């Protein structure tokens, strides 16, 4: 018997007002910044595929404070990071060519002085049957959040411009990701963050890899039959890759962008949306 998945019906509400409150150049050390999290008074980021297996602590002006090597790990294609009260979860699940069979999430103690070994969550998509190279793969992902006792993965579906939502256990070991729904987001998801106090999900996305957007969904939950509205706001940054977001409050966010030929450096931006409300 085939499983049935509910497609969330979502209304687009275009939000045209936004304001960049701060814009800081980042070091070449994190020129492929992907993923943002907060520990104490520091922002945390790392480099995309092929970078050192390390996270970098930054000030709120983008200065690197320290480098923390993640032992027993490799950076094949790190894409996003999230946390709960005890652990960081670093997603090594970039799958641009559809051919990876080693998708994983590193489970790392939140603080360095906690003497607990790092663990690894290995996972696969049970629906994936072919691992042939396919640049329009639907089994790629760049968004990860912690939601209660689960990890939630948002896929990067280039073919349909939607995102499939999968859940994973936070327990180490091998498991199959559980597809719970699809969101007709109208774009390709490149980063995610969730704030449980605000019940707010924030995503970064692109349609054509030229312009990037912030998508916000209020009252986010994993209920299958709930209808969501969302706002979409263009990030006024020019042609560069945006693959990370961190919620400050319901209208204000940190994002980072990569260093590309069209930009002078990677950047850390504090952006406010819906400023006219």
pLDDT, tens digit (0-9, with 9 covering 90-100), for 98-156: 999 999 999 999 998 887 889 999 999 999 999 999 988 999 999 999 999 999 999 99
Binning pLDDT at 50, 70 and 90, where does residue 9 land? very low
Binning pLDDT at 50, 70 and 90, where does residue 246 land? very high
pTM of the model: 0.92
**What tens digit of pLDDT does each residue of 50-72 get?**
889 999 999 999 999 999 999 99
pLDDT for 275 beyond 60: no
pLDDT for 228 beyond 60: yes
pLDDT for 277 beyond 70: no
Task: Look at the block and give the residue holding tokens 């504090």.
Answer: 270
More confident residue, 15 or 226: 226
**258 contacts 34 by C-beta, under 8 angstroms:** yes
Supply the Cα-derived Rg of the chain in whole angstroms: 17
The two tokens of residue 32 are 């492929």
pLDDT of residue 273: 92
pLDDT of residue 2: 39
pLDDT of residue 274: 76
The β-bridge relationship of strands 228-234 and 212-218 is: antiparallel
Binning pLDDT at 50, 70 and 90, where does residue 276 land? low
More confident residue, 222 or 12: 222
pLDDT for 242 beyond 60: yes
pLDDT for 79 beyond 60: yes
CB atoms within 10 A of CB 43: 22
Selection from 129, 181, 130 nearest residue 152 by Cα: 181
Q: Per-domain residue ranges for the chain?
A: 6-273
**Superfamily of domain covering 6-273:** TolB, C-terminal domain (2.120.10.30)
Selection from 224, 243, 123 nearest residue 183 by Cα: 224
pLDDT for 206 beyond 80: yes
Selection from 258, 215, 251 nearest residue 237 by Cα: 258
More confident residue, 237 or 123: 123
Give the per-residue SS3 of the chain.
Answer: CCCCCEEECEEEEECCCEEEEEEEECCHHHCCECCCEEECCEEEECECCCCCCEEEEECCCCCEEEEEECCCCCCCCEEEEEECCCEEEEEECCCCCCCCCCCEEEEEECCCCCCCCCEEEEEECCCCCCCCCCCCCCCCEEEEEEECCEEEEEECECCCCEEEEEEEECCCEEEECEEEEEECCCCEEEEEEEECCCCEEEEEEECCCCCEEEEEEECCCCCCCCCEEEEEEECCCCCCCEEEEEEEECCEEEEEECCCCCCCCCEEEEEEECCCC
pLDDT for 244 beyond 50: yes
pLDDT of residue 15: 53
Chain-centroid distance, C-alpha 257: 13
Indicate the average pLDDT of the chain. Answer: 90
Report percent pLDDT > 90 for the chain: 76
Binning pLDDT at 50, 70 and 90, where does residue 175 land? very high
pLDDT for 13 beyond 80: no
Q: What is the mean pLDDT of residues 241-261?
A: 94
CA angle 207, 199, 270 (to 5 degrees): 55
pLDDT of residue 49: 86
């Amino acid at each position: 018997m085939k499983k049935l998945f509910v497609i969330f019906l979502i209304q687009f509400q275009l939000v045209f007002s936004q304001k960049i409150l701060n814009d800081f150049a980042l070091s070449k050390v994190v020129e492929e910044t992907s993923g943002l999290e907060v520990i104490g008074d520091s922002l945390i980021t790392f480099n995309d595929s092929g970078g050192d297996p390390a996270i970098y602590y930054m000030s709120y002006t983008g200065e690197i404070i320290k480098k923390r090597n993640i032992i027993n790990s490799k950076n094949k294609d790190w894409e996003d990071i999230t946390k709960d009260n005890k652990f960081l979860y670093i997603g090594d699940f970039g799958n641009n060519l559809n051919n990876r069979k080693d998708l994983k999430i590193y489970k790392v103690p939140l603080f360095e002085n906690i003497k607990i070994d790092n663990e690894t969550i290995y996972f696969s998509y049970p629906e994936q049957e072919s691992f042939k190279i396919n640049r329009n793969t639907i089994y790629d992902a760049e968004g990860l959040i912690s939601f209660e006792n689960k990890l939630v993965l948002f896929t990067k579906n280039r073919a349909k411009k939607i995102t499939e939502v999968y859940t994973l256990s936070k327990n180490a070991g091998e498991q199959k990701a559980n597809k719970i729904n699809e969101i007709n987001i109208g774009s390709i998801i490149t980063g995610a963050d969730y704030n449980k106090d605000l019940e707010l999900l924030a995503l970064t996305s692109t349609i054509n890899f030229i312009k990037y957007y912030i998508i916000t969904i209020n009252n986010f939950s994993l209920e299958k039959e709930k209808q969501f509205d969302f706002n979409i706001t263009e990030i006024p940054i020019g042609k560069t890759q945006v693959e990370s977001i961190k919620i400050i409050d319901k209208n204000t966010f940190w994002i980072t962008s990569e260093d590309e030929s069209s930009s002078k450096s990677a950047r850390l931006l504090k952006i406010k949306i819906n400023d006219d409300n």
